[in-house]
Chains A and B, each alone.
Chain A
Amino acid sequence: MEKTDFKELLKTSFLTAEVGMNGERMSEFHQIRKAALEDFLSLRVPTVKDEEWKYTNITPITGKKFTTDLPAASAGIAELQKFFFNIDKYLNIVFVNGRLNHELSGDLASLEGVTISTIKEAFVAKNPAAERYYNKTAELKGNIFAALNTSFVAEGLFIHIGKNVAAEKPLRIIYVQKNAENLMVSPRNLIVAEKGATLDLIESYSGLDQTSSLTNAVTEIYASENAQVNHIIVQEENHNSYYINNIEITQEGNSNYKSLNIALGSAIGRTNMSTRFTGQNSEATLNGLFIAGGTQLIDNHTMIDHAVPHCQSHELYKGVLGGKSRGVFNGKVMVRQDAQKTNAIQENKTILLSEEALIDTKPQLEIFADDVKCTHGATVGQLSEESLFYLKARGIGDQLARSILINAFADDLVNRIKLEDMRNYLEAKISARLS
């Protein structure tokens, strides 16, 4: 069998696409793509021999021939209705097959102090924040999937929250694929919260059908001094699809970033999320929930970089694994030499519902400062027999008792969401996924 060359194929796609670009070929935005393609081609495709990919074999992804021609699938409002609850309360931003769909999105100019456009448009408009921050996170360098994303970003999404602006509505970014067999989409988000800005951000990634696609996303978030960003990510790709997401957060002093990363779908789903403190008195909360069954593989790699003193981080990732599914949690908390008075808590808790489900968990603390408070831990287990018996002794049947306990375990993180309708929506979604 002929082995497809993942890199060669994508290079050809890139060059073919470039021919049809006309003027865009000379744009600054495209120059960044081109440079990224060079990076992509120079980087090695990781294998399970690489420490960072030890438990996640990506040959099902790299062995596939992906097309990068984004089909202009029209998605009707009916298909998206499920995402659109309380439509007036949110600003919806909808991408279908990698392209921003204005008809399905709300009025992007409707929020005071908030600039929303594609990144491509922001470059054309010479938006200083876009030019200053786009693709600048140092940690993206050397990451082959980030380079791949940058090479193939069609438009990207740029969100800028002005100084001391509290975005009036939560932003709800909805990425969907349709008729997307073998399609690679490259969602790209650049979110800049200026000094004292506040933002609620919800992202969802899903397919509207069962076609097999690859979502290879990158999100860069800059939280300036005293900015607050609340971030919810819901990955519910169909089980034929693949998902890779690199999320990079940079936090200046007194900033607060909170995320809840929910992974329910995809055949293979890998998230790398990292935040680094560049200013003191900042706080980060990285929470996650992954639920997998069948032969799904969900991999979460996180990194919290305490580079400066007096910062706090809290991390709790919870997993529920059934069938023959596999989960990976690799969480690193780095406390650098200068980062005195760091306070870091990290935990991973997983429930295995079957004999064949498996979790590889690796919470790691690397501490180079001496005056810090750090804890980490991981627990893996089944449902508590004592709790099950207690519920049964009250007349609750085996199946319902199990479901109550699993839901309680999973809902714990969702319960902390302040947006009540979003909380209810996610609880229902999780409950459906678990049943």
Chain B
Amino acid sequence: MIEIRNLRVNIEGKEILKGINLKINKGEVHAIMGPNGSGKSTLASVLAGRKEYEVTEGEVIFNGKNLLELSPEDRAREGVFLAFQYPVEIPGVSNTNLLKNALNEIKKYRGEVPLDAVEFLAHIKKKMALVELKQDLLSRSVNEGFSGGEKKRNEIFQMAVLEPKLGILDETDSGLDIDALRIVATGVNTLKSTENSFIVVTHYQRLLNYIVPDFVHVLYQGRIIKSGNKDLALELEDKGYDWVKDHINEFVMA
């Protein structure tokens, strides 16, 4: 699905990612964990194409294409979806309007026939049920006046509608209460198939109780210093990030 090779990234001249290597196959869920400031969100944003980030080295191959050479919109059209850590409020643009345009642009890019109004409505209604969103959120402006939980659920809803090949969840769990967390996780689990993959970026282990990762990677100071299976997340939860910091040399040497 995606292979990240020796990715180095600067923001305003400061190196944030210092050589990331990561390979994700179809059907896999990878969790990226790490303390604040370790570069987790930078990794998510760079994959989606945020332009403030400068890639100084490395490459990202996504289904055979050089992802870093694509515009953000083409990445999305190729099947990359970023669920934002801080979803943007867009006054005057309804959720429906956004999704209809997005879906049509993606289909056009892929040479597929756009959905007509009836098909589109049927499609989004089915997906709304998945994240238990209220109907009125469709006609309301994107994220405007949404609660924190509604915003995150809306991200997952959009992901469900656009059916990406790679879903990147950037701290989707932060600020969610347990009910919202469960709804978000159920949404993701329903979308999960042998054909798509997920990167779940999180600070805490608790989301991983619901979305069970195949692999867990610990990101610290711009490097993946340890990888393991879901037990690594539990170990981190148990021992805390200080454990990582204290044993960084052992991890890196190993």
Contact = CB atoms under 8 A, between A and B. Distances in A.
Interface of A: 384, 386-387, 389-398, 400-401, 404-405, 407-409, 411-412, 415
A395 B92 contact: no
Interface string B65-91: 000000111011100011010011011
Given A392-B76, A395-B73, A387 B92 contact: no
Interface string B40-54: 000000001111000
B202 interface: no
A253 B48 CA distance: 58
Contacts of A400: 101, 105
Nearest to A397: B73
Contact of B72 (A384, A392, A412): A392
B92 A393 contact: no
B206 to A, nearest CB: 26
Given A389-B51, A395-B109, A400-B105, 15 more contacts: A390-B90, A390-B142, A391-B90, A391-B93, A393-B48, A394-B102, A395-B76, A395-B105, A396-B102, A398-B71, A398-B73, A407-B92, A409-B91, A409-B92, A412-B92
B90 A396 contact: no
A390 B73 contact: no
B106 interface: yes
Contacts of B73: 392-393, 395-398, 401
B98 A391 contact: yes
Given A394-B98, A396-B73, A404-B93, A387 B88 contact: yes
Interface residues of B, number: 32
Contacts of B71: 392, 398
B101 A404 contact: yes
24 contacts: A389-B50, A389-B72, A390-B84, A391-B93, A391-B98, A391-B102, A392-B49, A393-B73, A394-B98, A394-B99, A394-B158, A395-B73, A395-B77, A395-B105, A396-B73, A396-B101, A396-B102, A396-B105, A397-B73, A400-B105, A404-B98, A408-B93, A409-B91, A412-B91
A416 to B, nearest CB: 12
Contacts of A386: 88
Given A392-B73, A395-B109, A396-B102, A405 B88 contact: no
Contacts of A401: 73
User: Most chain-A Cβ atoms within 10 A of its Cβ — which of B72, B84, B98, B158?
Assistant: B72
B93 A395 contact: no
A394 B162 contact: yes
Contacts of A389: 50-51, 72, 88
Contacts of B98: 391, 394, 396, 404
B25 interface: no
B90 A405 contact: yes
B38 interface: no
B97 interface: yes
A392 B50 CA distance: 10
Contacts of A405: 90, 93
A387 to B, nearest CB: 5
A379 to B, nearest CB: 13
Nearest to A406: B92
A404 B92 CA distance: 9
Interface string B3-37: 00000000000000000000000000000000000
A395 B106 contact: yes
A384 B51 CA distance: 14
B156 to A, nearest CB: 13
A411 B92 contact: yes
Interface in B97-148: 97-99, 101-103, 105-106, 109, 141-142
